[in-house]
């Protein structure tokens, strides 16, 4: 047995259109949208009969994907959008960018808010965390030098 690759990271959102627009602005590509429903899907997730809209986003290099899901049924049962960065569970998705300052300026009109500060790590990376749509925590890293 061997792992071949990590296929995607799944994020549940309330406003799928706004979240897709945000990640398109960041530079991801929309691979496709679909509706997933029925008994077979509920057997996989353990949720029973479900109805979900999804959008699959991929990085420009084609190696990483985000699956954005909006549950129509069953209803959302928990909300972790405002959890601090030291909360148990999902922390963030990190993206490498070529110009951190320009990326922040591009994303601010789409609701991106800086969590802390932009910092330089040992002259190797410029890093920050932002909250995107739906409060999704995102890391941005610009390689320096």
Question: What's the pLDDT at 20?
Answer: 97
Return mean pLDDT, the chain.
90
Token pair, residue 142, equals: 């610009």
Under 8 Å between Cβ of 137 and 115:
yes
Same structural domain, 67 and 100:
no
Q: How far is the CA of 38 from the CAs of 23, 35, 42, 53, in angstroms?
A: 28, 10, 7, 12
pLDDT tens digit sequence for 28-43: 999 999 998 888 887 8
Residue 118 lies in a domain: yes
Q: How far is the CA of 97 from the CAs of 3, 6, 28, 132, in angstroms?
A: 27, 21, 11, 16
Residue 42 lies in a domain: yes
71-76: average pLDDT: 88
Token pair, residue 25, equals: 């602005």
Query: pLDDT at residue 3 above 80?
Result: no
pTM of the model: 0.87
Query: Which one, of 47, 19, 46, lies nearest residue 33 by Cα?
Result: 19
Same structural domain, 14 and 53:
yes
Residue 78 lies in a domain: no
Domain count, the chain: 2
Same structural domain, 99 and 62:
no
Same structural domain, 57 and 17:
yes
| Residue-number span of the structural domain to which 113 is assigned | 93-143
Under 8 Å between Cβ of 51 and 76:
no
Residue 51 lies in a domain: yes
96-101: average pLDDT: 94
What's the half-sphere exposure (Cβ side, CA atoms, 13 Å) at 16?
A: 20
Residue 80 lies in a domain: no
């Amino acid at each position: 047995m061997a792992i071949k690759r990590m296929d995607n990271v799944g994020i549940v959102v309330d406003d799928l259109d706004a979240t897709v627009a945000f990640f398109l602005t960041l530079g991801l590509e929309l691979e496709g949208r679909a509706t997933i429903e029925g008994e077979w899907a509920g057997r996989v997730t353990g949720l029973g009969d479900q109805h979900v809209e999804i959008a699959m986003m991929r990085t420009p290099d084609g190696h990483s994907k985000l699956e954005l899901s909006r549950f129509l049924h069953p209803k959302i049962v928990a909300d972790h959008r405002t959890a601090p960065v030291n909360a148990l569970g999902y922390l963030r998705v990190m993206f490498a960018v070529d110009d951190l300052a320009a990326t922040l300026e591009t994303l601010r009109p789409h609701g991106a808010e800086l969590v802390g500060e932009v910092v330089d790590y040992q002259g190797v990376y410029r890093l920050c965390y932002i909250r995107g749509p739906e409060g999704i925590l995102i890391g941005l890293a610009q390689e320096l030098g």
